[in-house]
A = this chain, B = another copy of it.
């Protein structure tokens, strides 16, 4: 079995999900590469070491530039905050490393475009961790749509609702809270949550032509964890937008961190001429399926428990009726990445695919300011 030497940059929440994926993938999927947890990189050496000890990384680095120079690393996995994705990725590409990058790809489209150029010029395998594509229920939705079962698509709707920032005393910035700091995160719910919704949407329903958005920052000022000062909040606390897909379908998207009662309620629904699909992250192991071809008197939404061996990814886990959880989506993505190496195929979503989401986010944020429909920049 060939070795695949991995270096992880960042040790936060996403560092954990990725590390778990590296460890679990080869136990449940039949892979030709054995991932080796070579190194974890972070500025705080003590924390990096503790993380390495826990997850079994062989060593640590405190400077990602040094890491990239190392010959014994095959894959650079970027799990650091958004504002450093580009520098790392471009340098890693130049160094000929394969690159896995946590979403969103970049701070904005133009930056992402440079990243795409870098990886494509270098010809290195690359993928972005839009993990929800690999929820088995969502993967099944993709399959059903691709089989043409829905017919013409009329509507797409998605939302991602949270409630963790309602408290105005919550500070912004620093460990665990950098998502509230616009300089580090780039944007608020748009890049953090809507990016997920958009990635799934373009995967399932194709490109977006234009958008019309409304954004809001409910809490205007928050203390900054690092400066200790009350600073203006630059992120969008909430964002909703209308969209028109290239296939003629209409869409609504919404995200907020002010929806009391919802922790991570990512829901999506797609309505076609013949059938409809709905899914909800709070019960990610279920898919709702409505097929108009069913006989009238027994026609209704089918509540699919995605745990059977004929469901995507599920034969690798347990037995029918037994559900998997959130972290498995990362394991699936890493297993697929390894398989893509075996076949010398791209691993979806590539940086290029993820750039499309970036351009949509840009148009959304722009429309939030102009109050008008904004065209989405074409990736090519």
Binding site for B on A (CB under 8 A): 13, 17, 19-20, 23, 26-27, 54-55, 140, 143-144, 150, 154-155, 157, 159, 161-164, 166, 212-214, 216, 218, 238, 240-242, 244, 250, 252, 254, 256, 258-265, 271-276, 281-286, 289-292, 294, 296-305, 307-308, 310-311, 317-328, 371-373
Contact = CB atoms under 8 A, between A and B. Distances in A.
A213 to B, nearest CB: 8
Given A13-B318, A318-B17, A305 B371 contact: no
Nearest to A274: B260
Contacts of A284: 323
Given A300-B289, A300-B304, A300-B305, A250 B240 contact: yes
Integer count of this chain's copies in the complex:
4
Contact of A27 (B20, B259, B299, B323): B20
Contacts of A13: 318-319
Contacts of A238: 154-155, 250
Given A250-B214, A325-B328, A300 B303 contact: yes
B240 A214 contact: no
Contacts of A274: 260
Contact of A302 (B212, B256, B299, B373): B299
B301 A302 contact: yes
Nearest to A218: B154
Contacts of A213: 242
Contacts of A252: 240, 252, 254
Q: Could you tell me the dominant secondary structure of chain A's interface residues?
A: mixed
A309 to B, nearest CB: 9
Contacts of A275: 260-261
A297 B320 CA distance: 12
Contacts of A271: 161, 163, 256, 258-262
Given A244-B214, A261-B292, A297 B311 contact: yes
B154 A258 contact: yes
B242 A212 contact: yes
B373 A263 contact: no
A282 B305 contact: yes
A297 B310 contact: yes
